[in-house]
Amino acid sequence: MLTDSPPRRASRAGFLESDRITTLDHPQDERLLSITKSIGSAIEAGTSGELRRACEQFLGAASKFYQVPGCEIRVLAARPLRVREHWTTELFGDYTPATMLIRVWMRTAVRKEVTSFGTFLSTLCHEFCHHLDFQKFGFHNSWHTRGFYQRAAALYHHARNTPPKRLFWVPVPGGRWRIDWPRTNRGG
């Protein structure tokens, strides 16, 4: 994972704020966890209708918790040729702010491999965090900052019931950061 380059001038304040917000609260009960289990079994069964319904439930429950308008979800069999999310090299999903539509797909474009449960859920949480950037935090853009990735990770680990992970970063040229995975996995 790699952050975006900081923008110049006008949008810089929003970018820096996004970078600073490294926590995201989550429900204190199991409402998301139980839906996540249905997402897992739908992926295992390979049924896209069931998967879409489970994703709808997940996003509905999450939107209600964060008090943001609901977003639409489309589950595609394979990655579309045109990918709308301009900000990133994500392989498994995109989000369009104007229509509040999340798209996720079950297979990679080239090798047609089925997305794993972990990758799928991580993508869903990532795209939902773009939705939160616009609807909850009121940012005019949704950047991939260190804070953004940390918020998406917080949601993911809650939804999967795995221990939260603090992300460690190393600077790369252009004011960007990439995750230091060995250190992150060691926990510091």
Site residues (vs Zn ion, CB under 5 A): 88
Measured from the CB atom, the residue of 32 and 94 that comes closer to Zn ion is: 94
The position carrying tokens 């139980």 is 34
Q: Least separation, in Å, of the C-beta of 85 and Zn ion?
A: 6
- 152-170 burial, b at 16+ Cβ within 10 Å, e below that, comes to bbbbbbbbbeeeeeebbbe
Tokens representing 49 are: 């209708």
Q: Least separation, in Å, of the C-beta of 134 and Zn ion?
A: 12
Measured from the CB atom, the residue of 63 and 88 that comes closer to Zn ion is: 88
The position carrying tokens 């939107």 is 63
Measured from the CB atom, the residue of 88 and 115 that comes closer to Zn ion is: 88
Q: Least separation, in Å, of the C-beta of 123 and Zn ion?
A: 9
Measured from the CB atom, the residue of 53 and 157 that comes closer to Zn ion is: 157
Measured from the CB atom, the residue of 6 and 31 that comes closer to Zn ion is: 6
Asked whether 49 and 115 are in contact (CB, 8 A), the reply is no
DSSP string across 52-118: HHHHHHHHHHHHHHHT----EEEEEEE--SS---TT---SSEEEETTTTEEEEEEE-TTT-PBPPHH
C-alpha span between 62 and 67 (Å, rounded): 8
Q: Least separation, in Å, of the C-beta of 74 and Zn ion?
A: 16
C-alpha span between 28 and 13 (Å, rounded): 31
Measured from the CB atom, the residue of 36 and 94 that comes closer to Zn ion is: 94
Q: Least separation, in Å, of the C-beta of 127 and Zn ion?
A: 7
Nearest residue to Zn ion by CB is 88
C-alpha span between 47 and 63 (Å, rounded): 24
Q: Least separation, in Å, of the C-beta of 144 and Zn ion?
A: 6
